[in-house]
Homo-oligomer: A and B are copies of this chain.
């Protein structure tokens, strides 16, 4: 019998998070990791394969480019493996890319940065087609005010004010490289594109819940300085819902 070669694969997937209890596997909950590991097990003739993600996403949050790695010892060519996974996986997940990588590649430790998009549907009326993919906000957003407030957060800061108190992470210092605001008048959709070296638990959702009252004039732009400096979760605004959040890309 020939010696079985172990190959490490880097997988890039998209998923509609609406019907998942988040990415990370949990007993008796439907999770992206749970679904994906069940498929890998089927392909591996009943033998469990652990996948190692670049990170997690919350229940209801989406991904256009989540990355994970896994090791596989059978010698199916990439193309066959790619098709097999896409055939077996649930329709709310899609495998976009599968690449052979070096044995020491690690989806989490080697990630250099991440891009997230938070979407807001800014209209007096709700749109049933956007309800799972954008936060609905009825009051008018002032682009100039939003951009000024978000600019304050760009750079390396202690983001304690914008981190859920439920976290177990000690180090709250992160770098936001850029935040881009795009407004599409035709669809009434706003995109807030965050690019950083990493994001704390609920960080983008709390930033969005803090910037909205500034965006519609209920609070002053300068408040953002004070909130950042407070290093206190209570100083910031509410945590906006996860439906608006999408992990766009993991950078390596």
What is A's interface to B at a CB cutoff of 8 Å?
14-16, 62, 86, 91-94, 96, 125-129, 131, 133
How many chain copies?
Answer: 2
| Chain B nearest Cβ from A236, distance in angstroms | 26
Question: Is A94 a contact of B15 with CB atoms below 8 Å?
Answer: no
* Assembled-state Cα–Cα distance A4/B84 (Å): 66
Question: Is B16 a contact of A94 with CB atoms below 8 Å?
Answer: no
| Chain B nearest Cβ from A203, distance in angstroms | 23
Question: Is A94 a contact of B128 with CB atoms below 8 Å?
Answer: yes
A13, closest chain B residue (CB): B128
* Assembled-state Cα–Cα distance A113/B21 (Å): 43
* Assembled-state Cα–Cα distance A221/B92 (Å): 35
Question: Is A91 a contact of B129 with CB atoms below 8 Å?
Answer: no
Question: Is B125 a contact of A86 with CB atoms below 8 Å?
Answer: yes
Question: Is A128 a contact of B91 with CB atoms below 8 Å?
Answer: yes
Question: Is A16 a contact of B126 with CB atoms below 8 Å?
Answer: no
| Chain B nearest Cβ from A50, distance in angstroms | 23
| Chain B nearest Cβ from A215, distance in angstroms | 23
Q: Which of B96, B126, B133 contacts A125 (CB 8 A)?
A: B96
Inter-chain contacts of A15 with B (CB < 8 A):
128
| Chain B nearest Cβ from A78, distance in angstroms | 15
